[in-house]
A and B are shown apart, each in its own frame.
Chain A
Amino acid sequence: DGGITQSPKYLFRKEGQNVTLSCEQNLNHDAMYWYRQDPGQGLRLIYYSQIVNDFQKGDIAEGYSVSREKKESFPLTVTSAQKNPTAFYLCASSIPNAGSNYGYTFGSGTRLTVV
């Protein structure tokens, strides 16, 4: 079955360390997204990509970086410049542009904790 796989499910980061969250999809979707979710807040967009080798900053991109070398993969790196990285990170994919009836497909998330 098609879907999105995020790994790891739980991740612990030490102060000053960079960590990379994995996101892989086999839905053949062109668009992929990274959101951050904090308690009591809506999902906030970090980065998104419409096609391979192209991506755009979302609303809270500072301290994060991404790459899109393959259609199936959109890894997110949380750098040491991100001062408050503890959160639940969600990856999603979609068929972009008007007309889709299917919305986003989300992964099961990665919970990142700074120790």
Chain B
Amino acid sequence: SQKIEQNSEALNIQEGKTATLTCNYTNYSPAYLQWYRQDPGRGPVFLLLIRENEKEKRKERLKVTFDTTLKQSLFHITASQPADSATYLCALDRGSTLGRLYFGRGTQLTVWP
């Protein structure tokens, strides 16, 4: 079965620094890898999608990399702000016609002033 690990349950950084979150996977190689943000008591919100043939994708202060050799994705938030504090989820799509995602447990990010 697909296994997805996010590097740590919690990450605390100072405002203005770059937050780096890690997502490692085993078994099947995903066709797509997605990142979501989840605030307490709310549903996840889609942030970025990266395809297996893409090395990097950016959106404003967010950057995602995808290394299929290492079976790893890195998610970066530059110039972090307290408002970035949330849980970030990694999800894999194996690219089948079913379209289902496999989710990691998430990393809780806290940005302190």
Contacts and interface: CB of A to CB of B under 8 A. Distances in A.
Interface of A: 4, 6, 31, 33, 35, 40-43, 45, 48, 50, 56, 58, 90, 92, 94, 96-98, 100-109, 111
Nearest to B90: A42
Given A40-B105, A96-B98, A90 B43 contact: yes
B77 to A, nearest CB: 18
Given A98-B31, A103-B36, A103-B49, A42 B4 contact: yes
11 contacts: A33-B100, A42-B105, A45-B100, A48-B100, A50-B98, A90-B43, A92-B43, A94-B99, A103-B47, A104-B101, A108-B43
A104 B105 contact: no
Contact of A109 (B41, B101, B103, B106): B41
A103 B34 contact: yes
Contact residues on B (Cβ < 8 Å of other chain), bracket: 20 to 34
B42 interface: yes
B70 to A, nearest CB: 21
Contacts, number: 64
Interface of B: 4, 9, 31-32, 34, 36, 41-47, 49, 89, 91, 95, 97-101, 103-106
A90 B101 CA distance: 13
Given A40-B105, A106-B44, A107-B43, 13 more contacts: A6-B43, A42-B4, A50-B97, A50-B99, A90-B43, A97-B97, A100-B49, A101-B49, A104-B44, A104-B101, A108-B42, A109-B41, A111-B41
A56 B97 CA distance: 13
Contacts of A4: 43
A100 B95 CA distance: 11
Nearest to B101: A104
A97 to B, nearest CB: 6
Contacts of A96: 97-99
Contacts of B9: 40
With most chain A CB atoms within 10 A of its CB, the pick from B45, B101, B104 is: B101
